[in-house]
Chains A and B, each alone.
Chain A
Amino acid sequence: MSPPCAPLRPDLAAIAAHVAGDSSVLDVGCGDGALMAALRDGKGVDARGLEIDPANVAAAVARGLPVVQGDADIDLLGYPDASVDYAILSQTLQTCRAPDRVLDELLRIGRRAFVSFPNFAHWRVRLSLLWGGRMPVTRLLPEQWFDTPNIHHVTIDDFRAFVRGRGITVERTWFLSGDRRRSAAAANFRAEHAVFLLKR
């Protein structure tokens, strides 16, 4: 029996709902392993994780999850090609030093990849810059400019153009504001975060 756990973050819930049962997953930037635990306990998924923060790794391992402390920018190289069904990068893309290379690695290691990120073109962010003239501090981007781990801010339209330019197939998308879905057309303005299911 698994202990009751807090509901998953909306983007993680979207991913969890669409990972096939009994599949294998590498969760890159897995935090304390909340998604991994949900996938393992709910769907019998063979979930492995990579996480940079040692306290998070310790917490995840203490839940019995196979999590390796490491840096997505460096430590994905050791994973073999097509070794998992899904590579997952949730809310981590914007913290990577080389997000383009990390994405390449993700699509090399996973037969598919889930990528979620906060949308920097959400209207609150736009307003904050436009009217406040200050770097936005919002629910999804709670840190100040000097202590934020987010070094490569990206918008939904940026990401769409990026994957198109690289010939990556977008299999599905989810655009979310809190836990409410937003339409694809309005996503770049109205969605706080986005989830893409990608395939090479």
Chain B
Amino acid sequence: MTDQRFGLDRRVALPGPLPLDGGGTLAPVEVAYETYGTLAPARDNAVLVCHALTGDQHLASAHPRTGKPGWWTRMVGPGRPIDPARHFVVCANVIGSCMGSSGPASTDPATERPYAMGFPVLTIRDMVRAQAMLLDHLGVEMLAAVVGGSMGGMQALSWPATFPARVRACVAIATTARHTAQNIAFHEVGRQAIMADPCWRGGDYYGGEPPAAGLAVARMAAHITYLSEAGLTEKFGRRLQARNAKSFGFDADFQVESYLRHQGLSFVDRFDANSYLYITRAMDYFDLGEEHGGLLANAFRVSATRFCLVSFDTDWLYPTPESRSIVHALNAAGRPVSFVELSSPFGHDAFLLDVPELNRVVDGFLRGGVA
């Protein structure tokens, strides 16, 4: 296939304009994406995979800069539940991000300078609408499935609610239909850390020193929420880092401190601080029930989509009751739904890690749609 729309590391500038929930429009809409496999002649085998807060479009291929393998090769690849031999797989960088899709670091055509804080505040539904524009461009009218974990799961849930006639199946893993006060609170800590960094300069730091210290702290705080207490205890306990005794100072005495500092520092190399502000804001604004008259069941009433939800017993960021409330809404709406809480020591991050049961469930669910 020589169609330049398909393949790895693709970019497209869609003319838009994309009307936004917060008012105003975005144009052009740049989208960085990858596709794997071949769109069947009947155009019925497309699977859209949605990434999480700091994810990217390099779903199942090596990252062009870092050389690291794709972020979900456990789920997507030959012999995996989502298999390019059967599926036409699409993964796009969300708008607002910094991996090639339109975001605060992009050039504002009105000023020829980076948008910075002039970029419009987005919602999860805006991200989904941009993905729909990309699918239009790719000639995909109907998705066999939309699949995502964490913020990707929010997009996955938002898809059938926004485009009920375009999705046959939805897999939403370790996610929620709305951000709770606690979720918002953690995000606000991260945003304040960024904005308190003198380098942030009201977001206008492009071409200069970025607010790396603030972004690193934001990442450290968030990273704690991705792990379970038991997982942290098992991994680090109270063990000391490369020393035999406490220093009675403020070095990273404990291994867990050293680990978090490393997580923070390595994050700033690959992520834009303003994008972090915009995407966390979109997640905080997410309340699928609120978007549908205050009743979550209404979000699903007109769709013909099958749903599969998975939560993890050690995930305290989006704990099982969040998934269960989505299940109740789907039951009330009469939609076919599968749900299971899987056991894993890994906390919220489990959806990215080795949980064989997860693959079994997703594989069975996706195949279950084939009569």
Chain A residues in the interface with B (C-beta under 8 A) = 46, 48, 54, 57-58, 60-70, 75, 77-80, 83
Q: Do A48 and B336 touch across chains, with their CB atoms under 8 A apart?
A: yes
Residues of chain B at interface, number, CB under 8 A: 26
Bitwise, B290-310 to A at CB < 8 A (1) or not (0) is 000000000000000010100
Q: Which 9 residue pairs spanning A and B have beta carbons closest together?
A: A64-B368, A62-B364, A78-B328, A66-B336, A57-B340, A68-B339, A61-B338, A69-B340, A78-B331
Q: Which of B46-54, B259-267, B277-285, B355-363 contacts A (4 or more CB under 8 A)?
A: B355-363
Q: Do A78 and B327 touch across chains, with their CB atoms under 8 A apart?
A: yes
Q: Do B360 and A58 touch across chains, with their CB atoms under 8 A apart?
A: yes
In the bound complex, what is the Cα–Cα distance between A107 and B252 (angstroms)? 61
A54-B343, A61-B361 are known contacts. Are A67 and B331 too (CB-CB below 8 A)?
Answer: no
Q: Do A69 and B343 touch across chains, with their CB atoms under 8 A apart?
A: no
Q: What are 14 residue pairs bridging A and B, where the CB atoms are less than 8 Å apart in the complex?
A: A48-B337, A57-B339, A58-B340, A58-B360, A61-B338, A63-B364, A65-B338, A66-B336, A68-B327, A68-B338, A70-B324, A75-B324, A79-B331, A79-B332
Bitwise, B14-51 to A at CB < 8 A (1) or not (0) is 00000000000000000000000000000000000000
Q: Which residues of B contact A70 (CB under 8 A)?
A: 324, 327, 339
Q: Do A64 and B334 touch across chains, with their CB atoms under 8 A apart?
A: no
Inter-chain pairs besides A54-B341, A61-B364, A75-B324, 6 sampled, C-beta below 8 Å: A54-B343, A58-B361, A62-B360, A64-B365, A65-B338, A68-B339
The A-contacting residues of B in range 114-128, CB under 8 angstroms, are none
- CB of B78 within 8 Å of the partner chain: no
Q: Which residues of A contact B360 (CB under 8 A)?
A: 58, 62
Q: Which of B329, B337, B368 contacts A68 (CB 8 A)?
A: B337
A58-B357, A78-B332, A80-B332 are known contacts. Are A67 and B338 too (CB-CB below 8 A)?
Answer: yes
Q: Which residues of B contact A66 (CB under 8 A)?
A: 306, 336-338, 368
Q: Do B331 and A80 touch across chains, with their CB atoms under 8 A apart?
A: yes
- CB of B256 within 8 Å of the partner chain: no
Q: Which residues of B contact A62 (CB under 8 A)?
A: 360-361, 363-365
- CB of B369 within 8 Å of the partner chain: yes
Q: Which of A57, A63, A80 contacts B334 (CB 8 A)?
A: A80
- CB of B238 within 8 Å of the partner chain: no
Query: Distance (Å) between the CB of B366 and the closest chain A CB?
Result: 9
Closest A residue to B358 using CB positions: A58
Q: Do B331 and A64 touch across chains, with their CB atoms under 8 A apart?
A: no
In the bound complex, what is the Cα–Cα distance between A69 and B336 (angstroms)? 13
Q: Which residues of B contact A61 (CB under 8 A)?
A: 308, 338, 340, 361, 364-365, 368
Query: Distance (Å) between the CB of A27 and the closest chain B CB?
Result: 13
Q: Which residues of A contact B308 (CB under 8 A)?
A: 61
Closest A residue to B367 using CB positions: A64
- CB of B342 within 8 Å of the partner chain: yes
Closest A residue to B308 using CB positions: A61
Q: Which residues of A contact B332 (CB under 8 A)?
A: 78-80
Query: Distance (Å) between the CB of B327 and the closest chain A CB?
Result: 5
Q: Which residues of A contact B369 (CB under 8 A)?
A: 64
In the bound complex, what is the Cα–Cα distance between A65 and B365 (angstroms)? 7
Q: Do B357 and A69 touch across chains, with their CB atoms under 8 A apart?
A: no
Find the residue from B331, B341, B361, B367 having the highest chain A CB count within 10 A.
B331
Query: Distance (Å) between the CB of A47 and the closest chain B CB?
Result: 10
Q: Which residues of A contact B324 (CB under 8 A)?
A: 70, 75
Query: Distance (Å) between the CB of B160 and the closest chain A CB?
Result: 15
In the bound complex, what is the Cα–Cα distance between A46 and B324 (angstroms)? 22
A64-B364, A64-B368, A66-B306 are known contacts. Are A54 and B331 too (CB-CB below 8 A)?
Answer: no
Q: Do B334 and A83 touch across chains, with their CB atoms under 8 A apart?
A: yes
Closest A residue to B357 using CB positions: A58
In the bound complex, what is the Cα–Cα distance between A46 and B334 (angstroms)? 11
Closest B residue to A47 using CB positions: B336
Q: Which residues of B contact A68 (CB under 8 A)?
A: 327, 331, 337-339
In the bound complex, what is the Cα–Cα distance between A54 and B341 (angstroms)? 7
Query: Distance (Å) between the CB of A34 and the closest chain B CB?
Result: 15
In the bound complex, what is the Cα–Cα distance between A170 and B14 (angstroms)? 64
Bitwise, B236-270 to A at CB < 8 A (1) or not (0) is 00000000000000000000000000000000000
In the bound complex, what is the Cα–Cα distance between A83 and B365 (angstroms)? 23
Q: Which residues of B contact A80 (CB under 8 A)?
A: 331-332, 334
In the bound complex, what is the Cα–Cα distance between A83 and B343 (angstroms)? 31
Query: Distance (Å) between the CB of A133 and the closest chain B CB?
Result: 40
In the bound complex, what is the Cα–Cα distance between A175 and B329 (angstroms)? 38
Q: Which residues of A contact B328 (CB under 8 A)?
A: 75, 77-78
